[in-house]
Structure 1
């Protein structure tokens, strides 16, 4: 029995060592495949945050990410948490069927939001974009297929609304119920805020993994010192800014009958020359409208 036990231990040790060697080989293969992909890719995909007050051109800036030639072949997918992308698309890109806008909100019979179902729909949409990138098509259950020759970008419009959604998911989990009115009243504990952040980051990171350009849009919120407003900052989860490669803040100026929209690059890990630079996006001079957009977004030099 003793010898049998030693033999069993030797066999178990051998199996573990072989498993470790196999896992090591797979890890090396994955690392080298990642390196090959980086070398084959001409430049890094943008992970660009766009923040600004309402009506400052945030969504238009992201939608206008393709060159004239790319509009013939490249798709832009919009996860529209903010429910504001459609008017911009209808005004400027209504004939462009390669802009795919999706509103993930799911409502219950009493017209309150089903927050968990909404989060699931958002994840499914990102999965669909991944399918389009990897297979150059989107397949449906009824055997219908849509050809997608290329994907230029995914636009995550309304990161502040997604943050609110994850707040409610954490609150509902905390009270172990489904009534958002009751969840609004609950006092959260630190562990629940951690759960909120994890839920927020799961979707954010899933979008970041897509092999296309990424744009994350949010509004600004006031920063207070006591009762005094001392500034503004982007209304997204606080770790978001550190994960971005680029950050653009949009603004609006009205003077002497002229309305101008500007984009200021406050961060660029890919082109330091752009940092601190402001660009004119849009002008309306007594009804004469011109849209410039941002060329650095179109040609990936931001």
Structure 2
């Protein structure tokens, strides 16, 4: 039979108390235990400030790669490791929306394939009708969740590598396809105006209604941007690869080209490279059969000397083998 002191102690433990962390009333013993294990906010923030003075990332590479298909955008990233880094087992991770990473890996990097890990982020055939059939191949909300899970895993890998290999770089191919995921999720999940990605293409502007609702898509898109910038702060080089799309004036006339990504993306990038393909002509103006592939440094906050500079990364010539030079500024860490 419990004595009087035991009963008093039990009553005190079961007495309600206000928990400042949750705003709820819970047993006093639980609040006391949580408070005893918690760290004062000022102290924990000061610890962060102190440690920030000791942390200097190896680089601050968050780079946009913009150009048409087959001009070496993926190639320069997969060729960015030194021989020492390859031997050490460092890894380039590719979030491969369009399959370009895997294609380049198996075509040009079989000898060091283990250093390059490609994942297809698309979740397939998850949404079925009552007959068990799918109307479309990609489940966009599930794909968005999968990308967030992959991003969380990458951040944890970079922050706490343990015995894992070093995460050298992260490449996201076809960021324009990620933008499509964000748009379709806005219609399907956030606004509820479409059953799937196909339905999201039916009069999309009418379905969105008020213009500020497009901010939902912007917010979804830049979840991946936030992950990328966090990885960059942990010393991982991150690349957003995309294509050009037409730039139109108010009348709808095409007046140029612009990157195919959410319009604020360039503000978050430290570097932007444009890729050009140029056919070489002889003195008489006729084509020589040679094509030069060039990179233009459009933005480079980390090395202003590179601004507006061009580098030849590849040369092809009729009946001759391809000449690959890559981009030394990436491989040697000068960008």
Which residue number in structure 1 is paired with residue 128 of structure 2?
none
Does residue 98 of structure 2 align to residue 65 of structure 1? no
- Would the aligned equivalents of 1:52 and 1:220 in 2 still touch at CA under 8 Å? yes
Structure 1 counterpart of 2:326 = 293
- The residue aligned with 1:201 is 222
Find the counterpart in structure 2 of residue 254 from structure 1.
279
Q: Which residue of 1 aligns with 2:60?
A: 45
- Alignment gaps of 5+ in structure 1: 1-11, 13-17, 138-146
Q: Does residue 275 of the first structure (1) align with residue 307 of the second (2)?
A: yes
In the TM superposition, residue 112 of structure 1 has moved relative to its aligned partner by 3.0
Structure 2 residue aligned with 1:159: 175
Whether contact under 8 Å (2:183, 2:217) holds in the other structure is yes
Q: Give the SS at the match of 2:40.
A: helix
Q: TM-score, normalised by structure 1?
A: 0.84
Q: Which runs of 5+ in 2 are unaligned?
A: 1-19, 21-34, 126-132, 281-287
SS at match of 2:308: coil
Contact preservation (8 Å) 2:155, 2:227: no
C-alpha distance in 2, partners of 1:130/1:271? 26
Question: Any runs of at least 4 consecutive aligned residues in structure 1 with deviations exceeding 6 A, and if so which?
Answer: none
The 8 Å contact of residues 281 and 294 in structure 1, kept in 2 or not, is answered as yes
CA contact (8 A) 1:222 1:233 kept: yes
- In the alignment, is residue 82 of structure 1 matched against residue 98 of structure 2? yes
Deviations 1:42-93 (CA, angstroms, capped at 9, x unpaired): x433111111111211111121111122112210000011222211111111
Q: In the superposition, relative to structure 1, how do residues 230 and 177 fare at CA in structure 2: closer, same or farther (>3 Å)? A: closer
CA–CA distance in structure 2, aligned partners of residues 128 and 64 of structure 1: 24
CA RMSD, Structure 1 to Structure 2 (Å): 2.3
2:110 to 94, 99, 111: 94
| Counterparts in 2 of 1:230 and 1:205: CA distance versus 1, 3 Å | same
Contact 1:52 1:218 in 2 (8 A): yes
Which residue number in structure 2 is paired with residue 191 of structure 1? 212
TM-score calculated relative to the size of structure 2: 0.76
